[in-house]
Amino acid sequence: MSRTRINRGKPPERIEEPDCADRSDAAAMEEVATVTSTTSTPNVETAQAPTRVRRNNTAIRSDPRPAGRLRLSRAQEETQGEEAVLPAAPARRRRTLRGPAAHRDDARTPMRPGGADTAEAEARDDADVVRVEEPESHIVVVAFARETWPQAEVELIGLARFLAGPREAIVLCRIGASERDAGRAGADRLVTFENAGIFQRRSALAALCGDLKPRHVLLPSSDAGNDLARFLATRLGVRPAIGIVQLRGNEVLVPAADRQHDYARSLPPVATFTASACKATTPVARREARTLMVQGVTSDPAGVTDDGIEVADVSRLALEEAEFVVSAGGGVRDLRLFGAVARSLSATIGASRVVCDAGALPRDRQVGASGHITRAQAYVAFGISGAPQHLEGIRDCAHVVAVNTDPHAAILARADLAIVADAGAVLAALLENGESARG
């Protein structure tokens, strides 16, 4: 076994070493010390540092020290003895990731409100604002401070941005006070009605649409939004699209009158959108949100005051318009208990022909082919057997729950959820659980 050593001022010297693989560590160390002491110059110590010879840019390392011996650091190896060791390659710099504060120079003055840093940041933000000067056309978005669904204003503006061209401005008409930054939401212009009554809002929006002549007016699909859309459509002489559920290019899907099907039509100038049609529309650039003043706004007519929205008694709602209906049949013996459950559930009251013929409930509450057809989203029948005329009246209901003691009752076959039990016992349990839940 041989190794090569380089001494200062001398050519490389090859030294033959004994094989230490089959000997103990102590014997191997002893023989290595003997060999090195007889072959080295007086300037070289017994415990020699490893030598390196570079051939064709390849470092060859020969280390005479046996396994288990304490290894010295590179600095210690270079300082011990007179043996020349080729210098190592420069250490590679380490890259450390730090938080935003670590990128600032320590000698730099921290940012303070009103200082140069703040002014510079404001100037940079102002330079990043997208402005549309002298737009070719407009799209008006009407939003309410009490949003129909979370982020309705932002999503409607995003939908308008999807429809708008590069030289088209988005005008946000905000009804009510809101702290949201309209520019961050994506509005190019802003009109705010904070304390305006319903007639003033209608007059202002009609005047705004008359001045700007927008290509589209978009509103959220709600009672107030749909009512305002119908008013604007009447003033503009167009047919609105109410409750759009999907936007496909220039086509929209609108629920049909039976609420079981959708039909496609072109996007009209005035339209209201549901949450499902507006999702995943987030603005990516800050807009100017320049404030606009509306001229020609008229006050409320003389003798007419706006008292706001009055919540109607849903229990007396027309069966054709109701979304949630509970009906009583001949199996319900306590109609007061039934009425209390209907009010607790905020449901509209219905009845079978047997109950209405007996005079227990008025005729306008009768459900069936000989009464009223309901298309409720949820219909709950208590003590109703399910005559063919009654089943015809609930044919278009989305979800039917039936409670009857007869497991072979026809209405149980129609029901999505059938409960074979006494109607009075189920009504009492519903009322008790409802009162306990309200606390």
Q: Show Cβ contacts of residue 248 under 8 Å, excluding neighbours closer than 6 positions.
A: 264
Sheet holding 216-220, edge to edge: 241-244, 270-273, 216-220, 137-144, 168-175, 189-193, 290-291
Domains of the chain, start order: 2-79 (no CATH), 129-291 (3.40.50.620), 314-438 (3.40.50.1220)
Distance (Å, whole) CA 180 – CA 174: 11
CA-based nearest residue to 249, from 310, 159, 338, 173: 159
- If DSSP codes are grouped into helix, strand and coil, which group holds residue 353? helix
Q: Six-digit token pair at 277?
A: 């049609």
Check the CA dihedral 112-114-117-118 and report its sign. Answer: positive
* Per-residue confidence in pLDDT tens, the chain, 439 aa: 555 565 555 566 555 555 544 444 445 444 444 444 444 444 444 444 444 444 444 444 444 444 444 455 555 555 454 444 444 444 444 443 333 333 333 333 333 344 444 455 455 556 678 888 889 999 999 998 888 788 889 899 989 988 988 889 999 999 888 888 888 888 899 998 877 677 778 888 888 888 899 999 999 998 889 999 999 999 889 999 999 999 888 889 998 876 678 889 999 999 999 988 887 555 567 888 888 877 656 665 655 666 666 777 888 889 998 999 999 999 999 999 999 999 999 999 999 999 999 999 999 999 999 899 999 999 999 999 999 999 999 998 999 999 999 999 999 999 999 999 999 999 999 999 877 766 5
Alpha helix locations (H) across 20-140? 25-39, 74-79, 116-128
pTM of the shown model: 0.48
User: For 403, phi and psi rounded to 5 degrees?
Assistant: -120, 120
